[in-house]
Structure 1
Amino acid sequence: MQHSRRTFLGAALGGLVIAPALAGPAEAGTAWSRVPAIRRRIRPPRFPARTFPITRYGATADGVTPCTEAFRRAVEACAAAGGGRVLVPAGTYLTGAIHLADDVELHLEAGATIRFSRDPADYLPVVATRYEGVELMNYSPFIYAHGRTNVAITGSGVIDGQADATHWWDWSNDPPPSEGPDKRLLAQLAEDGVPVAERVFGEGHYLRPNLIQLYRCRNVLIEGVTVKDSPMWNIHPVLCRNVTIRGVTVDSPRGPNNDGCDPESCVDVLIENCTFDTGDDCVALKAGKNADGRRVNEPCLNVLVTGCVMRDGNGGVTVGSETTGGVRWVFAWDCEMSSPHLERAIRVKTNPERGGYVRDVHVKDVEVGQAADAVVEVALDYENKHTGPYFPDVGGIEITRLRAGTAPRAFTLIGNPGNPIRGVKVSNSVFENMTEADVVTDVTGFELRNVRVNGHRV
């Protein structure tokens, strides 16, 4: 098997380079020198020392009495006073949508649980949001802010979306009611250039909202909390600047499309010391989709992912599939990834309908215990689409000091015919128990330096 694998690699299309071992660590040239400046720019917001307990505004901690109005009044009072902390004391609070304001920190004490209603009517009226990379008017995300400065969600409590197979997740199924017809309708509206204000969904439609979405906000902090069982993506900053997500646990491995954290078209993002156990990608960097992504045309730039643990998920650190606005300067290091249900560790996914670019993705010092598919996947045929009018430009991917234990393949690299992946470099890395041949097609500049697979240098 090893002989056939090495022959396969040597015959892979587009210029595999087998290079000698390096004398020193294979850092990504000057790319990593950008990290300190990015990190200095990312500063969590600070808030006035004023506290507004939701119990002062009528909240009851019995998990049954609706507290939506109490949350609204507490946020309004906090904002009117010039900002501070909206405090959620220990106990369980049932609520509909929570909308944050400028200079408001939503803080959950130890033992506090915000439990979100399963009634879609509690997330109306519709708000401006994004669904899988396309803007529209839809059900409110459960915790939402739009155009705000200095917003935070902190503490050691639990944010529970209460989604399950009969609430919210059932909308992802094929039998009606389901999201399929609405997804196709939204895509067509975007292709036709219908204004966002006229793309009205919500009641009578089945596009699932996110658990936490902060939209066009500046100075964002999410720290310490546990989030679980979202209708779909758990944490979704969109078009934000200066975002810190630190010490968060995402416990949502059963839900469809339950991504952990998806910064989309954001600039300067730190995701640090988080744990992800998800029903889809753990961290996924996005930049809008197709016609609507070209209309908005905002990239995702300067993202740092460090000290994180990834368990279940379709990918550990992922870029895509919504890449239309472009993704660049991504740095991931000191992460641990392992699960029988973690399909890939490092993943880039896009297709010729998305367009855009993925450049300058740098990964180092990652431990992958077990993966269910390829350790590293770069695929330009996502959703089995090989041709189209908008070929993505993908390359400049560098990985060093990655150690993988068990997986079917080290690499799945699939470009488009006539539009190859341009540059994947892996150095000083070990893949210990790979059981199948790699898949490498339509790739130029695939370079391995001091890489061992199953005990053999390749």
Structure 2
Amino acid sequence: MKKITLCLVLFLSLIFLSFKKDKSSVTLKKVKVEAPFKMPAINVPDFSKCAKFSIVDFGAVKGDKDKTSKAINDAIAKANQVGGGTVVIPEGEWLTAKIHFKSNVNLHLEKGALLLFSENPKDYLPAVRSTWEGYECYNYSPLIYAYQCKNIAITGEGELKAKMDVWKIWFKRPKAHMESLKRLYYLASYNKPMEERQMVNDTANFRPQFIQFNRCENILMDGVTITNSPFWTIHPFLSKDVVLRNLKVYAHGHNNDGVDPEMSQNVLIENCVFDQGDDAIAIKSGSNQDAWRLNTPSKNIVMRNCTVKNGHQLVAIGSELSGGIENVFIDKCTVIDGAKLNHLLFIKTNERRGGYVKNIYMSNITSGKIDQGILGIETDVLYQWKDLVPTIERRLTPIKNVYLDNVKATNVKFVSKILGQKELPIENIFLKKVSADAVQGEHSIHENVLNFVNKN
């Protein structure tokens, strides 16, 4: 009888310890977002009741990359272990290598704090499960990386900055780099396992993203400044419930998009300033066979009250869109006069992508001069891939239901340029009060479009 009682006590103790370990002090807040489609409330983490952990208490030393890196990651582990916490980066410049998140952690940069990320590629090894231009692979770790995490945040008035000494050399795409691109294309096209997709070698030079949330939920970024990036700057990949607000993003290198939501859902981007060498926002959903396998659309994405100082487009959709993109709303955004911009909205795909695009809304946008036009839709955009590799499986992209309302620019080459395909025309494009003070060429350039309506 005593033996049975002892076993029962031990069993109940294990249950209690397990419950205590899993219990989180992080609460969730719901952010309600109005949109022209049914938009679910977004869950974001609230760390106000959580403990704080200064990296100094874990051994961080200004100017000492190794000690600071270890201190940050040890503090993250501790915050996760106790069920939730805020890791505090105090004022001053802190040199670091990669940062890997765990669930229930807020990385908080105090005013005057600068996290300066090393330019040494070896600091981002071992390779992690990541992506390159829509294909999954093992690559250098993003500078800040979260994999399968819940309830995570980056907040505060401080700055995240990438040293660019090496990455800017890697902007070039020599033959060896292109050969690695070809290899990844074939590996993905024939659904080879991830273990074979090792893309770190002496010549591939696949630059990592600055911040990647990979298969994560309940993500908040609020207040921080981000300067420079090796590749895409903020990359939510296969993630849900993402709020990015009050950010200042400056990155003028190659492929330096501001935010790339990819196969991600329920995303709000608001009150941000973007100054980019590429697109301010580029909405993606993977490339070709890889995305058809994952079968996850980018969906329910709202961008509002943002300012763009430079970029290729205010919002780009594609060309990596093979998983499908739907329910996108861009509202009350401004492109400053003097910005370098190609389009306000540019939807791009090609014969390899498949997927779909539908229910895209843009309203209440003001812009200065645009090098190309307000709306561009093109179905034969392949960039460097055009002559690099053949089409393995041809799938066209249906595009329909695009609405622009109250959109104005000062000077453009065209208002709309829509180039569909004869076998799959683009459908249902509605422009209302969309205009420019001066149009240098044709107002509308259209091929293979069904049901285009322009009301001014």
Instruction: Encode CA deviations 1:267-291: one digit per residue, 9 max, x unaligned.
Output: 1000011111101110011101011
Give 2:423's aligned residue: 418
Give the alignment partner of residue 448 of structure 2, picking from 442, 445, 449. 442
Is 2:314 the partner of 1:311? no
CA displacement at 1:381 relative to structure 2: 1.2
Give 2:243's aligned residue: 244
Superposed CA RMSD: 1.8
Larger deviation: 224-233 or 199-208? 199-208
Give 1:430's aligned residue: 435
Give 2:363's aligned residue: 364
CA contact (8 A) 1:172 1:180 kept: no
CA contact (8 A) 1:62 1:91 kept: no
Larger deviation: 41-50 or 399-408? 41-50
TM-score, structure 1 normalization: 0.87
Give 2:283's aligned residue: 285
- SS at the partner of 2:368? strand
Cα distance change on mapping 1:63 and 1:415 into 2, 3 Å = farther
Give 1:8's aligned residue: none
TM-score, structure 2 normalization: 0.87
Give, in whole Å, the separation in 1 of the partners of 2:440 and 2:160. 40
Quick one: which amino acid aligns to residue 347 of structure 2? V
- SS at the partner of 1:230? coil
Cα distance change on mapping 1:64 and 1:84 into 2, 3 Å = closer
Instruction: Encode CA deviations 1:5-44: one digit per residue, 9 max, x unaligned.
Output: xxxxxxxxxxxxxxxxxxxxxxxxxx94436x43xx1132
Is 2:191 the partner of 1:193? yes
CA contact (8 A) 1:228 1:234 kept: no
- SS at the partner of 2:44? coil
CA contact (8 A) 1:63 1:115 kept: no
CA displacement at 1:430 relative to structure 2: 2.2
CA contact (8 A) 2:339 2:368 kept: no
Give, in whole Å, the separation in 2 of the partners of 1:312 and 1:428. 24
Give, in whole Å, the separation in 2 of the partners of 1:78 and 1:380. 47
Instruction: Encode CA deviations 1:351-380: one digit per residue, 9 max, x unaligned.
Output: 111110000001111111221111111111
| Number of aligned residue pairs | 413
For 1:128-167, what aligned pairs fall within 5 Å after superposition?
A: 128-163=129-164, 166-167=165-166
Give 2:318's aligned residue: 320
CA contact (8 A) 1:287 1:324 kept: yes
CA displacement at 1:124 relative to structure 2: 0.6
Instruction: Encode CA deviations 1:410-442: one digit per residue, 9 max, x unaligned.
Output: 112111232221121101222211111142112
Quick one: which amino acid aligns to residue 126 of structure 2? P
Give, in whole Å, the separation in 1 of the partners of 2:182 and 2:168. 18
Cα distance change on mapping 1:419 and 1:344 into 2, 3 Å = same
CA contact (8 A) 2:66 2:97 kept: no
CA displacement at 1:340 relative to structure 2: 4.1
CA contact (8 A) 2:311 2:339 kept: no
Give, in whole Å, the separation in 2 of the partners of 1:120 and 1:195. 25
Q: Return the structure number with greater relative CO, CA threshold 8 A, min gap 6.
A: 1
For 1:159-308, what aligned pairs fall within 5 Å after superposition?
A: 159-163=160-164, 166-175=165-174, 179-204=177-202, 205-252=204-251, 254-308=252-306
Q: Which has the larger radius of gyration?
A: 2
Name structure 2 gaps, 5 residues minimum: 1-33
CA displacement at 1:49 relative to structure 2: 2.2
CA contact (8 A) 1:65 1:93 kept: no
Give 1:46's aligned residue: 46
Is 2:396 the partner of 1:391? yes
CA contact (8 A) 1:406 1:433 kept: yes
Identity %: 34
Quick one: which amino acid aligns to residue 273 of structure 1? N
Give, in whole Å, the separation in 2 of the partners of 1:174 and 1:217. 31
Larger deviation: 440-449 or 100-109? 440-449
Quick one: which amino acid aligns to residue 195 of structure 2? A
Runs of 4+ with deviation above 4 angstroms: 63-66, 384-388
- SS at the partner of 1:242? strand
Give, in whole Å, the separation in 2 of the partners of 1:63 and 1:90. 15
Give 1:34's aligned residue: 37
- SS at the partner of 1:43? strand
Name structure 1 gaps, 5 residues minimum: 1-30, 451-458
Instruction: Encode CA deviations 1:310-343: one digit per residue, 9 max, x unaligned.
Output: 1211110111111100000001100002344111
- SS at the partner of 1:371? coil
Quick one: which amino acid aligns to residue 400 of structure 2? G
Give, in whole Å, the separation in 1 of the partners of 2:126 and 2:66. 21
Give, in whole Å, the separation in 2 of the partners of 1:194 and 1:264. 21
- SS at the partner of 1:417? coil
Larger deviation: 57-66 or 124-133? 57-66
Give, in whole Å, the separation in 2 of the partners of 1:371 and 1:43. 36
Larger deviation: 42-51 or 309-318? 42-51
CA displacement at 1:174 relative to structure 2: 3.3
CA displacement at 1:65 relative to structure 2: 6.4
Give, in whole Å, the separation in 2 of the partners of 1:133 and 1:67. 33
CA displacement at 1:93 relative to structure 2: 1.0
CA contact (8 A) 1:294 1:324 kept: yes
Give, in whole Å, the separation in 2 of the partners of 1:180 and 1:70. 38
Cα distance change on mapping 1:290 and 1:443 into 2, 3 Å = same
Give, in whole Å, the separation in 1 of the partners of 2:268 and 2:417. 28
Quick one: which amino acid aligns to residue 34 of structure 1? F
CA contact (8 A) 2:420 2:448 kept: yes
